[in-house]
Amino acid sequence: MVPDLSIDADWNSLYIDGEWVDSESGDDIAVEDPSTREEVARVPAGVEADVDAAYEAAADAQKEWEQTPPIEREQLAQQFAQVLQDHEAEIVDLLAHEAGGSQVMGETSVRIAADQAAQAATFPRRMGGDQAESNVPGKENFVQREPEGVVTAISPWNFPLNLSGRAVAPALATGNAVVLKPATNTPITGGLLFAKLYEKAGLPEGLLNVVTGHGSDIGDAVAGHPESDVVTFTGSTPVGRGVGATAGENLSTMSLELGGNNAHIVTADADVEAAVDSAVFGSFVHQGQVCISINRHLVHESVYDEYVERLTERAESLPVGSAHDDETVVAPIIDEGQRDEMLGYVEETVEAGATLETGGEAVPMEGVDDSLLVPPTVLSGVTNDMPAAANEHFGPIAPVVPFSDVDEAVEMHDDTEYGLSGSVHAGDVGTGMQIAERLDTGMVHVNDQPINDEAHVTFSGTKASGVGRFNATDILEELTEKKWISVQHERREYPF
């Protein structure tokens, strides 16, 4: 018998009101393995009628759920964390098949998702209110925290497990119901898998509803549904602007994590070996398909040549190949659209005068037509306005840009519409902190690289990198609302 969490299981049903049901359309969508380019599953192509059914179920179930004792919601989050860990091997395999995730990417995804669930388990007991003195004699003021109602979670394809989980787990823990719309490329690990895992954890019916489908068909219906009280979204800035505009018509609360053009700053006094070590992970883990990965390497001119040489050597040493090989570090890109766009940026940057040190084109894979495998790519002689540096390339590409002093580095860092994450290597912590404080970005990491995510620490961006926040108590604030109740204990005197 095929295990129910394997890629060979039946994934061709929506999950609505605790039941696995067919889509109203009767159509389905193929899921492709980026390593083999083969179809590995089919999922339903949901339509607006399915979306409506999902929100109706969520709204009905939420009314009872918010009245449950905190310990029940706490235990659900704990059980979900345990289920994740119990099925880590199957989940890692699913991520390899669907997202092209290496072993490191898969294991990291499960660890972060379990951390998010553990953090969410603390929320039910942290939803208490406040009591305040009144300016009116005999009056008592109470402020209560209540769930918003129905939370919409629209998740991306790059890290589908934990970028869905950071919305779903805290939403359920705070007494909300959820409608989850995963990305078309990763409808299983970003959506349908959650339904199966939460069933194993004992989730009551109707509280989690998963609708797969093309964003062009149901995206607006999901983002702008009248029953949606909160919209969480992770994805590109152009798509996020559309989601935000649609959600805004309902005056929904929004947490939108959008694009980034994250810089890795290396000063003249930096430990170059340590900076390169950080850079290799920050640029090439999961093929650079990470919203908080290094998009630009800003390196002081005095250590520039050494940095480029070391980075190129390390890039060429990384194992590349199928995501199904445990030794692989850099696996294939998610699809040909992403591959062609990033390679276009590389070609345009070379045409603009940069030097291609290594990589720069897709390489063949045995038995695979039209390979998606792009090896680690290093570009030197890059300026901040060249395409690979100015655009979010979202690939295993490392454009290295020289600077002459820290003021110029800060100016170059901020010369982008984005402000998501970043990193600084400056030789000592104090100097690194001083530089970090000057950067216009939501997150920055000293003596490290930009890819950091801890469920108990805030996660947010500035400028076009999003609105709202995830993680820590920030997501608790986004998913709940406050109600002021006053009690007049003795008869009040009015002026008329």
Which residues are catalytic, by number?
A: 257, 291
Instruction: Give the count of beta carbons closer than 10 Å to the beta carbon of residue 488.
Output: 12
DSSP code per residue over 329-389? SB---S-HHHHHHHHHHHHHHHHTT-EEEE--S----TT-SS------EEEES--TTSHHH
Q: Select from 330, 333, 352 the least CA-distant residue to 341.
A: 333
Radius of gyration of the chain (CA): 24
Alpha helices, H only, 227-268? 237-248
Region label for 452, one of left (φ > 0), alpha (ψ between -120 and 50) or beta (otherwise): beta
Cα gap 484→263, rounded to integer Å: 44
In this structure, are residues 155 and 163 in contact, taking their beta carbons and an 8 Å threshold?
yes
DSSP state at residue 459: B
The sheet with strand 355-358 has its strands ordered as 355-358, 377-380, 397-403, 294-300, 262-266, 422-425, 445-446
Cα gap 165→41, rounded to integer Å: 22
Instruction: Give the count of beta carbons closer than 10 Å to the beta carbon of residue 294.
Output: 30
Residue carrying structure tokens 């004792």: 69
Residue carrying structure tokens 């959600």: 247
Q: Tell me the angle at which helices 160-173 and 103-120 cross, rounded to the nearest 10 degrees.
A: 10
Show the tokens assigned to 397: 């590409």
Beta bridge partners of 481: 146
